[in-house]
Structure 1
């Protein structure tokens, strides 16, 4: 399996793990053990989960938890006014947190890859509106956090 596919599987696992931690109130070590032994690369209830890059999965999950205050603040600011992150559905919130973490701390992953991967992940769970939200929030954050990866935005005449 190609590295990109293993990283995509690690991102999915990280999103699911964050969701599980929030909903079931499980701790990090319990989640690592559960996902690494029972989910990643395993068949669960008839669904085959792909092998994932475990170190990448752990990095995203640990990184989101370590930087959650900063991640949530940045994401809140990128969301529409009056719609804070805490009001966003739990899976969508996990997707935004993971994507924001990668944009903040994983400079080895191009911003466009981060945006595309998490928009694709959102599409697996949600309709177009939510996918557009993920794309818009992460694109805005990417232009702020990684402006060097983008051409300057052109100003439209008034």
Structure 2
């Protein structure tokens, strides 16, 4: 998997918009959970590991560890597990929502595995977490995309998730 620019820069970029009811610490924990969910989905796809195995591994080893020598900030482990399980359980519906926003000649399978994980996580949140403002979900996953890819992919994530939001939220 492409390594993100740096943990600190990701967390600095991913500060959610004001107006929600979460504290700064809770927002950061949710951001770490989103990053970990993308990494977990990527790992599951490439290694063929099961959802429970990966969630347990992250809970036991990764959330207490570090990335690039920096301690990983506290994660909202329940959010992480909810996103990962939700994407896996509802992958057909999630992929259908994403496919509806791809160009007609593109297949989700042709996308980079990290990009698929980003889109699936973001789409699932848009579909199943209506209590979270769609702007927050989209902004978070776009910033994560910027940490892994160039601006073109980040714009792609923005457009695709914006389309999923229009399709799934009124």
Give the counterpart of 1:73 among 74, 92, 96.
96
Aligned length: 147
Structure 1 residue 40 displacement after superposition: 1.5
Query: Whole-Å Cα distance in 2 between the matches of residues 36 and 81 of structure 1?
Result: 39
Give the counterpart of 1:102 among 125, 137, 144.
125
Q: Mind listing any 5+ residue stretches in structure 1 that lack a counterpart?
A: 148-158
Query: Whole-Å Cα distance in 2 between the matches of residues 137 and 103 of structure 1?
Result: 11
Q: Mind listing any 5+ residue stretches in structure 2 that lack a counterpart?
A: 1-23
Structure 1 residue 48 displacement after superposition: 2.7
Cα RMSD for the two superposed structures: 1.2
Larger deviation, residues 73-82 vs 55-64: 73-82
The answer on whether the counterparts of 1:103 and 1:142 sit within 8 Å (CA) in structure 2 is yes
**TM-score in terms of structure 2 length:** 0.83
Query: Whole-Å Cα distance in 1 between the matches of residues 153 and 72 of structure 2?
Result: 24
Query: Whole-Å Cα distance in 2 between the matches of residues 106 and 16 of structure 1?
Result: 20
Higher RCO by CA contacts (8 Å cutoff, separation 6 or greater): 2
Query: Whole-Å Cα distance in 1 between the matches of residues 70 and 41 of structure 2?
Result: 20
Structure 1 residue 143 displacement after superposition: 1.5
Q: Could you tell me which residue of structure 1 aligns to residue 114 of structure 2?
A: 91
Q: Which has the larger radius of gyration?
A: 1
Structure 1 residue 60 displacement after superposition: 0.3
Structure 1 residue 2 displacement after superposition: 1.1
**TM-score in terms of structure 1 length:** 0.89
